[in-house]
């Protein structure tokens, strides 16, 4: 817990210089799921590098990859090119943690990324990823009346290629095709996005803020979902692509 507090204070510090490319409180939510205080960690979709820097400062052995490594802004660390839609270049059983904040919804084949992340994890490693929570009540209502989810409107597709909504049931089914299980799902929420999908930074004041603060934080009310998936020794329960009679 103390190490998580240290990481979060470092993230607050670096955010003043390098603004996070994520909805408010997403970093805090992801860091809360870290299982160890050290080890080898792959930051997949490292962006500008804030998370990589904070983890490095607290003793993690950090490897950073991104589709656009030229955006990485930490001078004393490196970031290598990687397309997370393709096979990863790392050997099996390389990392203790794979961390991907606000990445998986940008991928056309998120199942492939999950399987690759699990492949390169050690036997007791964990994959942690965050994504817009499309299972909450606001998302369900928005889809009912408009046919699209918040954070997946045309503005998000054109602006940052939000292309694949991630449902809890889909992640569970992906785990059935791998040697893994969902250990936990936690949620963050400052507020829900505006109609153009821009995150609300504060949730406003007055009645709106009070109502948001009164709401519980769970699958039906969380803005962002953070999954912690553990690698196991169990055999996959489903063969990929097989049709059962």
Q: What is the mean pLDDT of residues 10-29?
A: 82
pLDDT tens for residues 102-153? 999 999 999 999 999 999 999 999 999 999 999 999 999 999 999 999 999 9
pLDDT band at 209 (very low <50, low <70, confident <90, very high): confident
Percent of the chain with pLDDT strictly greater than 90: 71
Q: Which residues neighbour 227 within 8 Å (Cβ) at sequence distance 6 or greater?
A: 127, 128, 129, 130, 131, 171, 182, 184, 185
Residue 193 lies in a domain: yes
Whether 69 is in a domain gets the answer yes
pLDDT in the model for residue 139:
97
Mean pLDDT to the nearest integer, 204-231: 90
pLDDT at residue 245 greater than cutoff 80: no
Residue 209 lies in a domain: yes
Q: pTM of the entire structure?
A: 0.93
Question: Does residue 19 sit within a domain?
Answer: yes
User: Does residue 92 belong to any structural domain of this protein?
Assistant: yes
In a domain, 48, yes or no: yes
Phi-psi map region of 176: left, alpha, beta (phi>0 left; psi -120 to 50 alpha): alpha
Query: Does residue 114 form part of some domain?
Result: yes
Count of domains forming the chain? 1
- Provide the pLDDT confidence category of residue 92 given band limits of 50, 70 and 90: very high
- What tokens does 49 get? 């590098």
Range of the domain at 208: 2-231
Q: Domain for residue 240, yes or no? A: no
Q: What is the CATH number of the domain that holds 17?
A: 3.40.50.150
pLDDT tens digits for 48-86?
999 999 999 999 999 999 999 999 999 999 999 999 999
pLDDT at 24: 76
């Amino acid at each position: 817990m103390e190490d998580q507090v240290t990481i979060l204070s470092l993230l607050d510090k670096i955010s003043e210089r390098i603004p996070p490319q994520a909805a408010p409180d997403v970093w805090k939510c992801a860091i809360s799921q870290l299982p160890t205080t050290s080890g080898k960690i792959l930051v997949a979709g490292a962006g500008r590098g804030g998370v990589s820097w904070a983890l490095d400062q607290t003793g993690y052995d950090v490897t950073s990859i991104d589709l656009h490594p030229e955006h990485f802004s930490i001078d004393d660390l490196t970031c290598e090119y990687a397309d997370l839609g393709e096979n990863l270049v790392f050997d099996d059983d390389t990392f203790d943690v794979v961390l991907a904040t606000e990445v998986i919804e940008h991928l056309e084949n998120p199942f492939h990324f999950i399987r690759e992340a699990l492949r390169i994890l050690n036997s007791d490693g964990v994959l942690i990823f965050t994504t817009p929570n499309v299972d909450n009540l606001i998302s369900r209502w928005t889809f009912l009346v408009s046919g699209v989810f918040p954070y997946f409107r045309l503005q998000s597709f054109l602006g940052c290629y939000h292309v694949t909504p991630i449902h809890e049931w889909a992640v569970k089914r992906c785990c059935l095709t791998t040697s893994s299980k969902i250990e936990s799902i936690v949620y963050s929420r400052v507020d829900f996005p505006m109609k153009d999908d821009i995150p609300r930074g504060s949730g406003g004041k007055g009645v709106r803020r009070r109502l948001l603060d009164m709401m519980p934080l769970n699958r039906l009310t969380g803005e962002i979902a953070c999954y912690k998936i553990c690698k196991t020794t169990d055999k996959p329960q489903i063969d990929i692509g097989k049709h059962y009679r």
